[in-house]
Amino acid sequence: MKQKTVILGVLGVDAHVVGNKILEYALRKEGFKVANLGTFVTQEDFIKAAVETNADAILVGSLCGHGELDCRGFRENCIEAGKGDIHLVVGGNLVVGKQSWEGVEQRFKEMGFNRVYPPGISPKAVIEDLKQDLGKKDHE
């Protein structure tokens, strides 16, 4: 499989950098080319970086609980920028309060995210899924 490029970052007004660094390390170790935009990244920053690097996937971290608000329109903006078919992944503490995970996952999938992860997911699981998903896409 050709080396895949992914854009990584923490969306919105959100300083949680630890998971971001761990995921970057794990992705590189698994052979991905990673453009890590760090914290406080806007949707526009993610998408512009994806255009310039011709990225295969965008991995959005959202830890502050505002994920639902911050992620709104992400897929539409990708379509607008000519990257409509990019693989979109989101994870972190996406919402606050007691909500059923199924409901949360459902809402983010409706927003156009291909994979939605709950808090505490291991980088390994995310990377395995990513390899599988991007591999499948190659055969489409």
Partner 1 sequence: MSKTTSYGLFIDFGSTFTKAIVIDFDGERVVGRAQTPSTVETDITLGLNAVLDKINKVQEVEPAYRYKLACSSAAGGLRMVTIGLVPELTAEAAKRAALGAGAKVVGVFSYKLTKKELHELETMAPDIVLLAGGTDGGDQETILHNATSLSRCNLHAPIVVAGNKVASDEIQAILASGDKEYVITDNVMPEMGILEVDEARSIIREVFIRRIIEAKGLKKAEQYVERILMPTPSAVLTAAKLLSQGTPREEGLGELVVVDIGGATTDIHSIARGDPTQPGLVQKGLPEPFVKRTVEGDLGVRYNASSIIGAVGRENFEARLGNPNLDLEDSVNELCLFTDRLPESESERGLDTELARSAARLAMERHAGTIQTVFGPEGEVFIQYGKDLRGIKHVIGTGGPLIFNPAPEKILEETLYSEMDPLSLKPKAPEFYLDERYLLYAIGLMSEVEPDKALRVAKKYLKRL
Q: If you compute the radius of gyration of the chain from its CA atoms, what whole number of angstroms results?
A: 14
The question of whether 70 is a catalytic residue gets the answer no
The yes or no reply on residue 49 touching partner 1 (CB under 8 A) is yes
Closest to 35 (Cα-Cα) out of 18, 51, 19 = 51
Identify the bridge partners of residue 14 per DSSP, sorted by sequence position. Answer: none
Nearer to partner 1, 81 or 129 (CB): 81
Instruction: Return the residue of 19, 26, 66, 123 that touches partner 1, per CB under 8 A.
Output: 66
The question of whether 139 is a catalytic residue gets the answer no
114 secondary structure, DSSP code: S
Instruction: Return the residue of 28, 29, 52, 128 that touches partner 1, per CB under 8 A.
Output: 52
The yes or no reply on residue 86 touching partner 1 (CB under 8 A) is no
Q: Where are the beta strands (DSSP E) in 1-140?
A: 5-10, 33-36, 57-62, 87-92, 115-117
Nearer to partner 1, 45 or 105 (CB): 45
Helix 18-29 / helix 123-139 crossing angle, nearest 10 deg: 50
Closest to 71 (Cα-Cα) out of 14, 5, 130, 6 = 14
Nearer to partner 1, 14 or 90 (CB): 14
The yes or no reply on residue 77 touching partner 1 (CB under 8 A) is no
Least distance in angstroms from the C-beta of 81 to partner 1: 9
Identify the bridge partners of residue 116 per DSSP, sorted by sequence position. Answer: 90
Which positions are catalytic? 14, 16
- Residues making contact with partner 1 (CB under 8 A): 3, 5, 7, 12-15, 33, 35, 37, 39-40, 45, 48-49, 51-55, 64-66
